[in-house]
Amino acid sequence: ITEARCDYPPYGIDFDGGVPTGRFSNGKVPTDILAEELGIKPTIPAYRDPNLRQEDLLTGVTFASGGAGYVPLTTQIAGGIPLSQQLKFFEEYIEKLNGMVGQERTTFIITNSLFVIICGSNDIANNFFSLPTTQLQYNVASFTALMADNARSFARTLYQYGARRILMFGAPPIGCVPSQRTVAGGPTRDCVVRFNDACKLFNAKLSANIDGLSRTLQDTTLIYIDIYDPLLDLILNPQQYGFKVSNLGCCGTGLIEVTALCNNYTAAVCPVRSDYVFWD
């Protein structure tokens, strides 16, 4: 489905059965945890999973793709599924629901579903700060504005499809992710300030865009979720949250092993995974 893959060990080592599922994690991801905490189901399956059960369509699926971003080029770089195509899959999903339970029940399901959008890190790390051509076309202010405007358009389109409960997550402090520290953090692998500043700039614009859009949409709960500050606090003060290591990933050396570099052939897994804030 995408070149940004993780459907091989040791990804999924702590997932049910220790099986890799395409999640960029050793176990569950935030949407799984959210669904479990809400008492819906233990995990959210992928819409395009060939083993997807029909009844799962009634209680939630994910359309996410590794490497995707708000800017189309970001997704193209990773060979992922662009947001435009994800929306087409969602449209197809609605048609399937209609066929299963009828239009009235389908409308009820869509209206009462929670839509979770987590995006933006790839745009900043893998596009803007990785491609000189992007920096020739945009500065950080105009690029983050493009991201935030595209995010608003995406939320508006979901509304037009019937979504009425939408959570949009801001970008995390991507400059403190182990691989980014290694690549751009200098000899001491510090958090990369310019990366984090770009995330904060995007978050401010996204928050403003979402606030403005929510005022124009009737009977809709559209909320911006800040994850930057709590995650930064966790990274800077890991011991306060029960962790020991926050500047290295658990996979391999912890310096750079992400996606293909995190594998059972060239990378060992840290002995106590719960000690690490980051898996990769």
> What pLDDT shows up at residue 31?
85
Whether residue 199 has pLDDT greater than 60 = yes
Q: Is the pLDDT of residue 188 over 80?
A: yes
Share of the chain above pLDDT 70, in %: 86
Q: DSSP label at 168?
A: E
Which pLDDT does position 8 carry in this prediction?
A: 42
Banded pLDDT at 259 (limits 50, 70, 90): low
- pLDDT of residue 135 exceeding 70, the answer is yes
Burial of 114 (0-12, 13-18, 19+ CB in 10 A): middle
Name the phi and psi angles at 111, rounded to 5. -65, -35
Q: Is residue 260 predicted with pLDDT exceeding 60?
A: yes
Contact between 76 and 12 under an 8 Å Cβ cutoff? The reply is no
Q: Please give the Cα distance from 2 to 23 (Å, whole number).
A: 12
Q: Report the mean per-residue pLDDT for the chain.
A: 89
Burial class (CB in 10 A: 0-12, 13-18, 19+), 158: buried
Tokens of residue 151, six digits = 């995010």
With a pLDDT cut of 90, the percent of the chain lying above it is 68
pLDDT tens sequence across 216-231: 998 999 999 999 999 9
Confidence of residue 278 (pLDDT cuts 50, 70, 90): confident
Which pLDDT band, with edges at 50, 70 and 90, does 236 fall under?
very high
Measure the CA–CA gap between 254 and 268, rounded to whole angstroms: 10
- Distance between CA atoms of 85 and 24, rounded to whole angstroms? 21
Residue 124 · residue 202 · CB < 8 Å: yes
Q: Comparing 5-9, 190-194, 223-227, which segment has the lowest mean pLDDT?
A: 5-9
Give the model confidence (pLDDT) of 16-37 as tens digits.
666 656 565 655 778 888 888 9
221-225 and 115-118 as β-strands: parallel, antiparallel, unpaired?
unpaired
Integer Cα distance of 84 and 73 in angstroms: 12
Q: What is the mean pLDDT of residues 90-110?
A: 97
pLDDT, mean of residues 84-110: 97
Q: Would you say residue 4 has pLDDT above 70?
A: no
What pLDDT score was predicted for residue 1? 38
Cα separation, 152 vs 150, in Å, equals: 5
Per-residue CA distances from 115 to 31, 64, 157, 159, 166 (Å): 10, 12, 12, 10, 5
For 139, the token pair is: 């500065």
pLDDT of residue 10: 58
Strands of the sheet with 221-225, listed across from one edge: 115-118, 165-169, 221-225
Q: What is the pLDDT of residues 50-94, one digit of tens each?
A: 889 999 999 999 999 888 999 999 999 989 999 999 999 999 999
As a whole number of angstroms, the distance between CA 87 and CA 24 comes to 22
- 3 state DSSP class of 26: coil
Summarize the confidence of residues 272-279 as an average pLDDT: 86
The alpha carbon dihedral of 253, 256, 257, 261 has a sign of negative
| Phi, psi of 222, deg, nearest 5 | -120, 110
pLDDT at 15 exceeding the cut of 90: no
Q: What pLDDT shows up at residue 19?
A: 65
Q: Which residue has the tokens 């984090």?
A: 196
Mean pLDDT of 104-122: 97
pTM (2 d.p.): 0.90
CA 77, distance to chain mean position in Å, is 16
